[in-house]
Structure 1
Amino acid sequence: MATSMDELTMSQLGSLRWADMRRRVRAMVDGQVVVDSATALQVWEPHRVVGCYAVPASDVVARLDNPQQTDAAAEHASILTPDDPFALHTTTGTVYDLQAGGRTLRGAGFRPQDPDLADHVLLDWSAFDEWREEDQTAIGHPHDPFQRIDCLDTSRHVVVTVGDTVLAESRRPTLLLETHLPPRHYLPREDVRMDLLVPSDTVTVCAYKGEASYFSAIVGDDIVPDVAWTYTDPLIDAEPVRDLICFYDERVELTVED
């Protein structure tokens, strides 16, 4: 029987998983390198969909301090995202503080009790000021080696409406495909009723696309909050959607026809 790769990936969600990053990884605190490794791994604790960097203990320049043995959390959501704190560990191991210069990074290190990872320290992304893969700054979270983005020109007819109001209509969208996420259609501004969109204060960060700024839609007397977004300075993989507008399919009616 054939195996669905999506189903295979999800079937392993409850396992402790790792992958070789095959790149130099560094972490900074106050402008100083406190982690520097050419043999970094990415490690997913059980139930985590986004992994963390893990490096040999010898590659941690900061001092590992105050070891505390911890058991796997007894209660947690079935799927853990970056919104769930690093301190929520789902496998047994030892938690460490990192002494970096004059700062103490509380609980920023974790050594799982696993023979394949016993020499490695998992690191809390949010505890550090900056991360670099080779010489490129990484944002949001570690890059998943099994995740990618494809940006494809298409001539499909896309119409975006809220009620009877047409917010956009385009026959030249860019289709953005991101592993494990819904397909998104990015539209030229000329095909969008920009007069019905107002900038909001919302900003989000994607590790693969960059920083997104948002728009709300004015439809009659109603405001539909954060209905669309754009990347004005995208990362290299998302360069084809620079300045294009993408709508939340879940907050509008979006139809796509051949």
Structure 2
Amino acid sequence: MSWQQGPLGGRAVGRFLVEQPLPERLLFAEPARRRMRVRFGDEWVADSEDVVLLHEPGRYPVAYFPRADVKDGVLSGPERTTRHRDLGETAWFSMTAGGRTVERAAWQHTALPGHAGELVDRIAFAWRAMDGFYEEDERIVGHAADPYHRNDIRATSRHLVVHDGERVIADSHHPFVLYESGFAPRWYVPREDVDESALTPTEKQTFCPYKGLASYYDIGEHKGAAWSYLDAWPEVRRVRGLISFEPDEIEVHLDGRRLQLAPGQSVTAHGIDRGLDPEEIQAHGAK
């Protein structure tokens, strides 16, 4: 909703059909309607079925827990205060549990404007500082899930051809198209329709909380021109192992029309709230 080209993002691809322009920044809070837990120092430091998600332009959703659902004695402070541009004074706390202490581990907005009552007496935790966030017994990797983010994968008989100069890299009459919230369509090609001898694996990897870990390939002089989710999440298993090509790095033609990279479609390796590092998913063995 608030990331990339979503309706509350800074580069929304659509617009609200209203007579007066909306404020430049719109924040949206809603109940998560799911049990969430936070683990730190081998202890459960928060456990709640009353979590509120805050959607803020340019940020991933942030989960706010009732102060009453945070374990007694784990927070100390506040150790410092800052000011949020929309939500006022913000107090920052240290966390101690399991023999470990981390500074700036959590925050609370302590002087909220009257229209932001949903966040009163609620605590948010720094995601990278915690050992893990969970929905029920399953660990969330990356950030709190945006309930409005979805991936739809469709098979098609359209003709997709990828060229590197005169060399044909891929030629398929049965690619798949992946429609992802906030992004233009991405086209994935079965490996039997790809000249894999043209692909040079690289060390580059990026992580998507909705699709999994992407591995990249160079094609000749074209760096990172293709990628594949070798072990894609079950929700997007139809593109597992397939190859997608970056149209600003390599020539991609669909039904004879050359594709161009849509504006605002770059992959962001690190978000404001949280780095999305491949090492994290590998270290924790997330599935």
Post-superposition Cα deviations, 1:158-217, rounded to whole Å, max 9, x if no partner, equal 112233332211111111111111211111011111101111111211111111111111
Stretch of structure 1 that moved more, 203-212 or 110-119: 110-119
Secondary structure at the counterpart of residue 147 of structure 1: coil
> TM-score normalized by structure 1?
0.82
Paired residue for 2:103?
A: 106
Does the 8 A contact of 2:38 with 2:134 survive in 1?
A: yes
Per-residue deviation, 1:125: 1.5
Paired residue for 1:59?
A: 69
Query: Would the alpha carbon gap of residues 39 and 6 (structure 1) be closer, same or farther in structure 2, given more than 3 Å must change?
Result: farther
Structure 2: which amino acid aligns with 1:24?
Answer: R
Matches within 5 A, 1:196-207: 196-207=198-209
Paired residue for 1:69?
A: 81
Paired residue for 1:41?
A: 52
Secondary structure at the counterpart of residue 168 of structure 1: strand
Structure 2: which amino acid aligns with 1:64?
Answer: L
Does the 8 A contact of 1:215 with 1:225 survive in 2?
A: yes
Per-residue deviation, 1:12: 6.5
Stretch of structure 1 that moved more, 123-132 or 239-248: 123-132
Paired residue for 1:146?
A: 148
Out of 229, 249, 255, the residue aligned to residue 251 of structure 1 is 249
Paired residue for 1:165?
A: 167
Does the 8 A contact of 2:64 with 2:123 survive in 1?
A: yes
Post-superposition Cα deviations, 1:217-252, rounded to whole Å, max 9, x if no partner, equal 12xxxx322221111222121111111111122222
Does the 8 A contact of 1:139 with 1:210 survive in 2?
A: no
Stretch of structure 1 that moved more, 33-42 or 192-201: 33-42
Stretch of structure 1 that moved more, 177-186 or 18-27: 18-27
> TM-score normalized by structure 2?
0.74
Secondary structure at the counterpart of residue 160 of structure 1: strand
Runs of 5+ unmatched residues, structure 2? 1-6, 257-287
Detail structure 1 runs of 4+ shifted over 4 Å in the superposition.
Answer: none
Matches within 5 A, 1:154-233: 154-218=156-220, 223-233=221-231
Stretch of structure 1 that moved more, 224-233 or 13-22: 13-22
Matches within 5 A, 1:73-152: 91-112=88-109, 113-114=111-112, 115-152=117-154
Runs of 5+ unmatched residues, structure 1? 74-88
Secondary structure at the counterpart of residue 71 of structure 1: strand
Query: Would the alpha carbon gap of residues 90 and 257 (structure 1) be closer, same or farther in structure 2, given more than 3 Å must change?
Result: farther
Structure 2: which amino acid aligns with 1:187?
Answer: V
Alignment length (residue pairs): 236
| Cα separation, 2, equivalents of 1:19 and 1:12 | 19
Stretch of structure 1 that moved more, 56-65 or 225-234: 56-65
Per-residue deviation, 1:90: 7.4
Paired residue for 1:85?
A: none
| Cα separation, 1, equivalents of 2:237 and 2:120 | 39
Query: Would the alpha carbon gap of residues 48 and 191 (structure 1) be closer, same or farther in structure 2, given more than 3 Å must change?
Result: same
Out of 29, 32, 39, the residue aligned to residue 21 of structure 1 is 32
| Cα separation, 1, equivalents of 2:209 and 2:120 | 28
Q: Which has the higher strand share?
A: 1
Secondary structure at the counterpart of residue 116 of structure 1: helix
| Cα separation, 2, equivalents of 1:203 and 1:136 | 23
Does the 8 A contact of 1:13 with 1:49 survive in 2?
A: no
Per-residue deviation, 1:135: 2.4
Does the 8 A contact of 1:44 with 1:51 survive in 2?
A: yes
Q: Superposition RMSD on alpha carbons, in Å?
A: 2.6
Structure 1: which amino acid aligns with 2:103?
Answer: R
